[in-house]
Amino acid sequence: MRHTKDCQQQTIVHGFIAMIFDMGSSLGGYFPAFFLLFFLRSLKRHKPLGCFTRYELQLPRHSFYVQDRDTPRPTLSIMKLPFSLTASAALCVAAGSALSIDRREPYEIYRFPGRIPGLGGNEAQQDVGSTWSSGVNIPLEVWRRGKTDLQWAGEITVGIPPQRFKVIFDTGSPYLLLPRDNCTKCSPEQNLFNPFLSSTFSSSPGIPLQLFFGTAGGGTRPTNTSQGANCTAVTDTVAISSPPITGYDQQFLLCDYYSSGLATQPADGIFGLGPLPTDFWPDQASNTTAEFETAYWNWINNTGGDLGPEFGFYLLGPKPQLTVGGTDARLYYPSTVRTIGLDVQLSIMRASWVAGLRAVRVNSQYLLSNTSSAIRDDVTLLDTGSAIILTPDFTTAAQIYNFLSPEIGPLDNLGSWGGPCEVLDEIAWTEDITFTVGTGERSVEVGLVKGAFNLGVFDDSRPGICQAVFVSPTQTAREPIRGRLAWVLGTPVLKGYYTVWNGREMEVGFGELKTGRGGEWVKGKGKRGKGWGKGFGKGKGKGRGVWGL
């Protein structure tokens, strides 16, 4: 536990809160409540006068704050970046600096033909969906801004009789979050939950929480403005209406305040799809944590074994969908699926999908590690709620852009990069950028979807200047166990594949998409499929969202 003294208002820089790892992990992922209570009581005896004391409860998953004064709610970090931040030693790297590149393959990788880089990996397990070949399909609607697919949302119901909500299905967090009817800053076009209309609603466990999210900016532009929500953990029935899947006595977060980023998005809330069957709320009243079953696993466990543990995402084309409890073989070639194992310790700590990142390739050039090797020892969060790729630091982003064009440079001091739109367009359709993710021989090489490099015009006041897909944090991002560099790979990579997520086995599979469903690039044919859906929320909230990081 770390005892810190704050005499001034704390500032959240770039929307990130440092994650911490203490002896909870050394005790098998559990930190007994009496240790927390003992430490809190001992620290309170030494509380300085004139300031509030912040206690960081160092749990094996999330970090959250319990504050004595100034804030009535403990704060819970739901960052898309699951790792600790350390000050970058050197943020100034000339974009045109020369680099010595080792062009050798880091290890043998099989690549499918075509413009989307193929899948590879020695001894990689195939056919993730072979045991459970069917599931329940949830149609998704894409929210687009200019050239960029920002978020995918589908419909759930809460309460009896059911109240309907559009939620973003997000592998970067474990929580279900919805706005309440008394929300002071929510959009009038968002659906608000009225607990008095539900016969199954319970105010239990009644734990208040203040949440902080990553950047606003439509999921692409970093911000130094705090974004989040004030919520309370409550209980009700959560379901899919057709075909019906119901989670009874589901605990979720009901919010009476949304920040501007949340309030101006078309979706009503977020449905976290973390890998773990249970998570916890921090209970300030008892200085303990209260465990709860996550919403997805509540669904699966209530089907009596009819559904499998995995879910599948298809994000390209006019009819994107999420398949719960299985996969949809109409959308991909099952024989092409390769799976990677997660970093189990980090995935449990973060309650998200964290994998190793072993190589980054730009055409024939490999991004060198700090040991001048093409083989990296980094980690990455695999995040369907992020519309960008977050590099670990400024230096890494500068190296990548150096491979591509001297006309690309920083657009602000928060981590946005870009250049002339025509330059980014050419790169988007002609350059191959790939990432080798996984551990050991269970690794696959996945690529940036063609066209996804250019996120569109950066600012209306700067016509002709577009933002590129790689964003750098203001501080170096490292995971807290071994200090490895940490990335976030979002949908610019994930949507190029049919992805299969299995929390029971702690693995993620990547499969080759079938043609004929539309999309930006499938099997190297064509740039854009016809008939793209216009997405939900037309005419709604033109503001920028907060789910990108």
- Structure confidence by residue, pLDDT tens digits, 226-259: 788 999 999 999 999 777 899 999 999 999 999 8
Is the peptide bond prior to 205 cis by the omega test (within 30 degrees of 0)? yes
| DSSP H helical ranges for 266-326 | 295-301
How buried is residue 52: exposed, middle or buried, by Cβ count under 10 Å (0-12/13-18/19+)? middle
Task: Take residue 528 and report the two structure tokens written for it.
Answer: 């854009």
Structure-token match 């949302």, residue found: 153
pLDDT of 224 reads: 74
Which residues, given as ranges, of the chain have pLDDT below 70? 1-133, 214-219, 515-549
**Structural domains of the chain, with CATH:** 93-128+321-511 (2.40.70.10)
Burial class of residue 413 (count of CB atoms within 10 Å of its CB; 0-12, 13-18, 19+): exposed
**Distance in angstroms (rounded) separating the CA atoms of residues 253 and 282:** 13
Measured CA to CA, the distance from residue 60 to residue 21 in angstroms comes to 6
Name the one residue in this structure whose structure tokens are 């606003």. Answer: 216
Residue 516, Ramachandran bin (φ over 0: left; ψ between -120 and 50: alpha; else beta): left
* 3 state DSSP class of 348: helix
Residues 6+ apart with CB under 8 A from 516: none
Give Cα 417 to chain centroid, integer Å. Answer: 20
Calculated CA dihedral for residues 100, 105, 106, 111, nearest 10 degrees: 140
Distance, CA of 141 to CA of 151 (rounded, Å): 8
pLDDT of residue 130: 39
- Enumerate helices (H) and strands (E) in the chain, giving the number of each: 8, 34
CA distance 119 to 130: 18
